[in-house]
Amino acid sequence: MRVIVTIAILLVFRSAIAQPTTSGGYESQVLSAGQSFMHPGILHSKGDLERLKMAVANKENPIYSGYEIFIQNPASQFTYKMQGPMKMVGRNPTVGQSAYDSDANAAHQNAIMWAITGDRRYADKAIEIINTWSSTLKSVTGKDAVLMAGLGPFKMINAAEILRYTNAGWQEGDIEKTEKHFKTVLYPVLKNFAPFANGNWDAAAIKTVMAIAVFCNDRSMFENALRYYINGTGNGSLMHYIINEEGQIQESGRDQAHTQLGIGLLAECCAIAWNQGLNLYAYDNNRLLKGFEYVAKFNLGNEVPFTEWLDRTGKYHHLKISQESRGNLRAVYEQVYNHYVNQMGVSAPYTQQAAEKLRPEGPGKPGADHPGYGTLYFSNSKRNVAIPSCPAQPAGVIATSAGKAIKLQWIESIGASDYTIKRSIHMEGSYKIIARNIQSPVYVDGHVQPGTNYFYIITASNTKGESENSYETAICAGLPVRWKQQDIGNLHLKGKTSFDGKVFTIEDAGLAIDSNSDRGHFTYQPITGDAEIIARFVPQTSSQFSRMGLMMREGLDDNSAFVSILIYPGKTSQIETPDWRVKLVTENDQEMKRDTSPVFLSLHEPSVTFGRLTGYVWLRLQRKGNNFKGSISDNGKAWTFLPDLAMPLKKALFTGLSVCSGMPKPTSICFDNVSINKKF
């Protein structure tokens, strides 16, 4: 099985800032650089809220049946009594989770009641909840902080989005404080997602980052979340969570509760993207629907195929599908059924059966895991798609290079008939059109010069006009001048390195760096004499078994002499929390094999939290004659030195980045700020 180690592409984003408004309309906010969001535009669009209001007024089913369930919930009352606020909330250990989640439910549901009834008492209650928490909550803590910040707060953000754009009377100053709260308290917990965990963690982080981005009119944040959804390194990105064409889920062997949680969260991401003019639902030939059909079929009592699966962290290995919680359907099916079947006319028999069995869908239990109430929120019998005046700009552009060609893929814009590809050799430079009338969201640029960095933007068109430019995406055709790459050791599949002008991306099929028989991928330059190499590890890695660092080696065969400064996971009693360490390593490091050597540095905050590499780590390896120095830093300025190592190596060495997965599955490693210096 191939092991892929990815050093994530650093996206080049332009600043996009919008001025908030309390005018109460449904108009979009125009950002700098021509980027825009539609508002309200998280789970509920202008059309959604108008449809709900009209259907409830006319007692139209099935929406009205959903409303009758909705109004019975205590969180839907303007008389709701707040359980918070608190200065700190957290999970594992749990601090204030139920209080926050309950208040978040009430904020969202009161905002919906305001939109449906026009009764300002509901708006006032939702505003009270949001303002109180935004002015009080200062930190989200605990080993499971990502889940704490990724689940309940999603409802709080949706409430804020509705209130801001429906003339609810929310004051400008309070809106600004809420924006700051979302971006400074919630977003820092979620910004790197959760590649170290089961996929529902990633998915929770993705949807809430998308929601914050829309509310705060932050296009770069939005793009980052979209690109992680389709190409992220953790278990929760689309292709890693729905693992095959049959629709099997990464957590299918764990239990059915978390499996439904994860696909429900991914579906909510699609709803947000749809409200911003992007058809994320359709990505990879409706892959999301394949996952829903698989899960619904099994939980309705049918049998499904199952493939033995080891996840991307290396911690969760499932041999058979789990029967735990089988048949306990969660309130996640109406949204997906109504989109694919009622709007798009696509068959989804098992998702439909699950939706019908739950109808009218109730609250998203437990706590605030799901929005729930899908019969009310998402029922729509009309099989049409409203086409905007012109398509939204393409988003989630992913560039990959094979040296002689560059492939671009992106999320299709709703209503687009074709796309135009533009290219430059300068960041934010003068762009030239290189292709027109591209019919699908894929393009291969075969006219590239190896070693050259290229920048791309894409527009979408239909008969009503052309979109704004997509965000700029950079990629190098092959590697920069002087850089080369090589598999080290006996690998059954070749590794690969690519570069985007800032960050190297390495795919690797290796398992070890620290033994007589190396197996990994090496990206290097030939250097003669004294030199140093510096690079920064960028969080996070998915595998808890990865080893990565800087290396100087005599040759490219598996038993060549080398010196490396290496980040590696020291063994502990808990596989979830390894003791991440750094040390100087040679090609015959028996001490490391025994993992008992005292000559290492354990990483701590801000680089490591709860055994996870969540912060930056700067690495530096220097050679002077036969003396090698290694040092680390968390800021690139103040360095901590390891004990020197004397090693008689040849004058000419291969110097670069070495990476191995440490397990038979794909993982992810990130480095930037890579430099090799002869004078230091």
What pLDDT is stored for residue 101 in this prediction? 98
Inform me whether the pLDDT recorded for 385 exceeds 80.
no
Crossing angle for the helix pair 152-164 and 97-117, nearest 10 degrees?
Answer: 30
Checking 629-635 for CB contacts under 8 A at 24+ apart, the result is: 630/565, 630/582, 630/583, 630/584, 631/565, 632/565, 632/582, 632/601, 632/603, 634/606, 634/607
What pLDDT is stored for residue 1 in this prediction? 36
Confidence of residue 35 (pLDDT cuts 50, 70, 90): low
What pLDDT is stored for residue 19 in this prediction? 31
Inform me whether the pLDDT recorded for 4 exceeds 90.
no
Inform me whether the pLDDT recorded for 668 exceeds 90.
no
Inform me whether the pLDDT recorded for 100 exceeds 90.
yes
- The CATH topology of domain 395-476 is Immunoglobulin-like (2.60.40)
Q: Between residues 667 and 570, which one has the greater pLDDT?
A: 570
Inform me whether the pLDDT recorded for 30 exceeds 50.
no
What pLDDT is stored for residue 458 in this prediction? 98
Inform me whether the pLDDT recorded for 2 exceeds 60.
no
What would be the CATH architecture of the domain defined by 484-677? Sandwich (2.60)
Inform me whether the pLDDT recorded for 11 exceeds 70.
no
335 and 378 Cβ atoms separated by less than 8 Å: yes
421 and 438 Cβ atoms separated by less than 8 Å: yes
184 and 42 Cβ atoms separated by less than 8 Å: no
Amino acid identity of residue 270, one-letter, is C
15 Cβ partners below 8 Å, 6+ apart? 32, 33, 220
How far apart (Å, rounded) are the C-alpha atoms in residues 138 and 125?
22
Bridging pattern class, strands 652-660 and 547-553:
antiparallel
Q: What residue spans in the chain does CATH classification 2.60.40.10 cover?
A: 395-476
41 Cβ partners below 8 Å, 6+ apart? 28, 161, 214, 272, 275, 276
What pLDDT is stored for residue 574 in this prediction? 83
Q: What is the rounded average pLDDT of the residues 14-21? A: 31
What pLDDT is stored for residue 71 in this prediction? 98
Inform me whether the pLDDT recorded for 5 exceeds 50.
no
**DSSP-assigned beta bridge partners for residue 658:** 522, 549
Sign for the pseudo-dihedral over CA of 194, 197, 203, 204: negative
Backbone angles phi, psi at 559, to 5 degrees: -115, 20
What is the DSSP code string of 104-145? Answer: HHHHHHHHHHHHHH--HHHHHHHHHHHHHHHHH--EEESTTH
What pLDDT is stored for residue 388 in this prediction? 58
Q: What residue spans in the chain does CATH classification 2.60.120.200 cover?
A: 484-677
Sign for the pseudo-dihedral over CA of 268, 273, 277, 278: negative
pLDDT digits (tens, 9 = 90+) for 353-377: 999 999 999 999 999 999 999 999 9
pLDDT digits (tens, 9 = 90+) for 552-566: 999 999 889 999 999
Burial of residue 481, with CB atoms counted within 10 A of its CB: 0-12 exposed, 13-18 middle, 19 or more buried: exposed
pLDDT digits (tens, 9 = 90+) for 101-146: 999 999 999 999 999 999 999 999 999 999 999 999 999 999 999 9
Backbone angles phi, psi at 535, to 5 degrees: -155, 160
Q: Between residues 508 and 75, which one has the greater pLDDT?
A: 75
588 and 510 Cβ atoms separated by less than 8 Å: no
State how far the alpha carbon of 43 is from the alpha carbons of 160, 193, 392, 406, in Å: 12, 20, 17, 35
What is the length of the chain?
Answer: 680
Inform me whether the pLDDT recorded for 643 exceeds 70.
yes
Count CA within 13 A, CB hemisphere, residue 135.
9
Inform me whether the pLDDT recorded for 267 exceeds 80.
yes
How far apart (Å, rounded) are the C-alpha atoms in residues 18 and 502?
28
Inform me whether the pLDDT recorded for 381 exceeds 80.
no
Confidence of residue 489 (pLDDT cuts 50, 70, 90): confident
Amino acid identity of residue 542, one-letter, is S
Q: What is the rounded average pLDDT of the residues 261-269? A: 98
How far apart (Å, rounded) are the C-alpha atoms in residues 83 and 214?
27
How far apart (Å, rounded) are the C-alpha atoms in residues 476 and 58?
58
207 and 272 Cβ atoms separated by less than 8 Å: yes
pTM for the model = 0.92
Mean pLDDT of the chain: 90
413 three-state secondary structure:
strand
What pLDDT is stored for residue 632 in this prediction? 97
Q: Between residues 680 and 261, which one has the greater pLDDT?
A: 261
Q: What is the rounded average pLDDT of the residues 167-172? A: 97
Q: How many CB atoms lie within 10 A of CB 573?
A: 5
271 three-state secondary structure:
helix
What pLDDT is stored for residue 20 in this prediction? 32
Inform me whether the pLDDT recorded for 12 exceeds 50.
no
What pLDDT is stored for residue 452 in this prediction? 94
162 and 115 Cβ atoms separated by less than 8 Å: yes
Q: Between residues 205 and 577, which one has the greater pLDDT?
A: 205
**CA 15, 21, 24, 25: dihedral to nearest 10 degrees?**
-50
Q: How many CB atoms lie within 10 A of CB 94?
A: 12
Q: What residue spans in the chain does CATH classification 1.50.10.100 cover?
A: 38-76+83-378
Inform me whether the pLDDT recorded for 509 exceeds 90.
no
- What percentage of the chain carries pLDDT values higher than 90? 80
pLDDT digits (tens, 9 = 90+) for 277-332: 999 999 999 999 999 999 999 999 999 999 999 999 999 999 999 999 999 999 99
Sign for the pseudo-dihedral over CA of 525, 480, 237, 155: positive
Burial of residue 386, with CB atoms counted within 10 A of its CB: 0-12 exposed, 13-18 middle, 19 or more buried: exposed
What would be the CATH architecture of the domain defined by 38-76+83-378? Alpha/alpha barrel (1.50)
Inform me whether the pLDDT recorded for 630 exceeds 60.
yes
pLDDT digits (tens, 9 = 90+) for 424-464: 998 888 999 999 999 999 999 999 999 999 999 999 999 99
334 and 361 Cβ atoms separated by less than 8 Å: yes
